Chains A and B, each alone.
Chain A
Amino acid sequence: MTLRWLKPEFRKHGAAALLSNDASMGIAPPEDAPVKSPRGYWRWGERRGGGVSILIEQRAVWVNSGLIIVLMLACTAYLSLGSVILDPRDVVKALAGQGDIMTGFMVQELRLPRLVAACLTGGAFALAGILMQTLARNRLATPGIIGIDNGATAFAVASVVGMSVSLAPSAMALTGAVTAAVLTFGLAAGSGTQGYRFIVAGIGVGAVFGAITQLLLARVAIDTANAAYPWTVGSLNARSGGSVQLLGIGLALGFVAALTLARSLTVLRFSEATASGLGVNTSARRIQILLLSVALTALAVAVAGPVGMVGLIGPEIARALSTPRHVPVVAATLAGALVMVLSDLAGRTLLAPIELPVGIVTAIIGGPWLLWILMRPQRSHA
């Protein structure tokens, strides 16, 4: 990029503002002829003269629509496969409310709620993951690794053991996640969030909360402990309807919030000074992003338990597919949902009749991945 190329571009586009992570908005100066859109973008809106137009990144559109199509296919497979294998056409019919009653019951009452829970938790974990990674400027800083999942789990288990109100796990998970986040960030305050120290401090915090979970489970009757066990490794079996609805609302709100934060996220990847210089109120944004990430994690943990690896894998896939121009918020959410759906499908079907908890499947996929990230020769790891 030379200065000669830059200058007219800059004049023509004026203050280019990023509307979302996948589209950016530019205000064209009024006297100009039709403005060519930059490479790799589509221009949408006013062609000439003083209007507002929106730049849409082509790559992001392809990636997101591709992910949506794959996710749809995965969902169809999820609804068709299982102990009884259904024809995908029957599944579509059953979804529309037609077809025979047995299929309808199986699809709508048994598999669909679980599918919805899988999509929502996967999306929430991955969204929380990419937010936290961007915030800490550290690829390893996903909520699952720095102990927030474990904090949420410990408090949620406390509520399962202690009281039986259906919304209590969500509220308690939220409390636990906030506690763990405060501890991890507070303990790492001296050393910053970029290095590996922050991560190890988070692992320590996670270990404490993991031990507390064990402690709570050790005190209850063996039946309750057995019932809670799959949930403590991450499973979609023990979900309660109330917390799924709460997660749905939370994810919808959080997704919109993440889109409005996307522009700041893109800039926050650079140094503090650069971000402030570009007009981002960094301290306020940081707190907003942190709260959003923690809340999403807590709501998802209340449904499925700690399936934190999705928060690592989803953003990794999204980043591999996208250009580094933006933080791929949408793609990460979609990829997270996809990973969760496929993992749970694998867990349900591969070793049938035994059902693998989804947390174990994601740990087996994500563990080697994490090792690979760690074992690359020393480079920047943001």
Chain B
Amino acid sequence: MKVALIPQRLEQRTLLALLLTALVAVSVVSLLVGAGTVSPSQAFSMLLGSEDSEAHFVVWELRAPRTLIGIAVGMALGVSGALLQAVARNPLAEPGLLGVSAGAAFAVALALVLGASAATLRISVAQLGALVGCLCVLGVARWRGVDNDPIRLVLAGAAFSALLGAMTSMMLLFDQRSADEVRFWVIGSLAGRRLEDLWAVLPSMAFCTVLIALIARPLSALALGERMASGLGHHPQLIRALVVLCVALLVGAATAIAGPIIFVGLVVPFIARAFAGPDIRRTLWFCLPIGPLIILTADIISRVVVAPSELPLGVLTALCGAPVLIAAVRARRLPML
């Protein structure tokens, strides 16, 4: 028996290595480029050892945390997108489109309006909201027998997200103080996030990593259909529940740090499947570098395009992601997962 979690064909390993190299390169660029006054050459010479206190501060205190957070958020969103698509057997299922991010955002806004402010509280609240949002859409879809139609599921998710979004804006109208705190967060951005936020979500991310490693094999059996999976000795209901839990924890964590960033969970598995083929385990491996690559690239563009101010990251991902959604929908036959 081969080792389960490692891409097996040689060219796939090479591709994965290339993607990781690209990720390192983009991370370095992300340290060098910014909207502020520190130029890339200044930052570069600082990295090579010159004494420049301003560059030192900007690179290590502002850009490095931002890059790390971008990597974490990208991994979480990409992997959760792939998981959700596998468990819903729907190539369009995406945390942002299915109301998971909107649930998290709603929960955080509710908590802020009710008076909470601490960072750790915000993360668990977002994760709880994501779980409720995910269960609402998937549960209602399953109950009404809509879950076998990928496109209707997405529509239901979009309607649910719109509803939650309206309720979030309504609550923010009540409370000007929270509105100021939340306004830039609801669009989705990596700007001004602190490293403590990242440390706060790391435990749940580590927990998810372990959980995913355990359920990856049964999950790929589930792709063959519920009966086949039971026949192979797995428990489809249990696997589904665990996957939904993982998705909620990951999306909740990512949303708590960076705000709701839609379409990343759609685009990343889309590309990863093109490299990896149908196997969910390989797809997950490819999601790991591709997610951060996309988030960091979008983040770099968002810093440069309208310098000296910045573009919200969510805007850029929507601009790149919507065409992918349209292309996926236009495909004559949606590939069933």
Contacts and interface: CB of A to CB of B under 8 A. Distances in A.
Given A360-B166, A374-B156, A218 B306 contact: yes
A368 B163 contact: yes
A251 interface: no
Contacts of A210: 318
Nearest to B158: A203
The winner among B144, B310, B314 for most chain A CB atoms within 10 A is B144
Interface stretch (B10-18, B146-154, B237-245): B146-154
A116 interface: no
B159 interface: yes
Given A218-B306, A364-B167, A207 B322 contact: yes
B149 A196 contact: yes
A356 B323 contact: no
Given A201-B326, A377-B145, A214 B160 contact: no
A204 B329 contact: yes
Interface stretch (B29-37, B47-55, B111-119, B169-177): B169-177
B191 to A, nearest CB: 11
A14 B236 CA distance: 65
Contacts of B216: none
Nearest to B310: A218
B146 A207 contact: no
Contact of A378 (B149, B306, B319, B323): B149
B140 interface: yes
A29 B170 CA distance: 62
Interface size class of B (residues with CB under 8 A): 35 or more
Contacts of A201: 326, 329-330
A211 B319 contact: yes
Contacts of A200: 92, 151, 154-155, 325-326, 329
Interface string A314-347: 0000000000000000000000000000000000
A187 B155 contact: no
B163 A208 contact: no
A354 B174 contact: yes
Interface string A358-382: 0110011001101100111110000
A199 to B, nearest CB: 6
Contacts of B332: 190
A215 B37 CA distance: 22
Contacts, number: 125
B319 A367 contact: no
Given A360-B166, A375-B140, A211 B322 contact: yes
B133 interface: no
Interface in B161-206: 162-163, 165-167, 169-170, 173-174, 187
Nearest to B189: A218
B259 interface: no
Contacts of B252: none
A208 B318 contact: yes
B146 A214 contact: no
Interface in B109-144: 140-141, 144
Nearest to B173: A354
Contacts of A211: 314-316, 318-319, 322
Interface in B323-337: 323, 325-326, 329-330, 332
B312 interface: yes
Interface of A: 140, 187-188, 190-191, 195-197, 199-201, 203-205, 207-208, 210-212, 214-215, 218-219, 233, 351, 354-357, 359-360, 363-364, 367-368, 370-371, 374-378
Given A360-B169, A367-B166, 17 more contacts: A196-B149, A200-B92, A200-B151, A201-B329, A201-B330, A203-B158, A203-B325, A204-B326, A211-B316, A212-B319, A357-B169, A363-B163, A368-B163, A374-B152, A374-B155, A374-B156, A377-B144
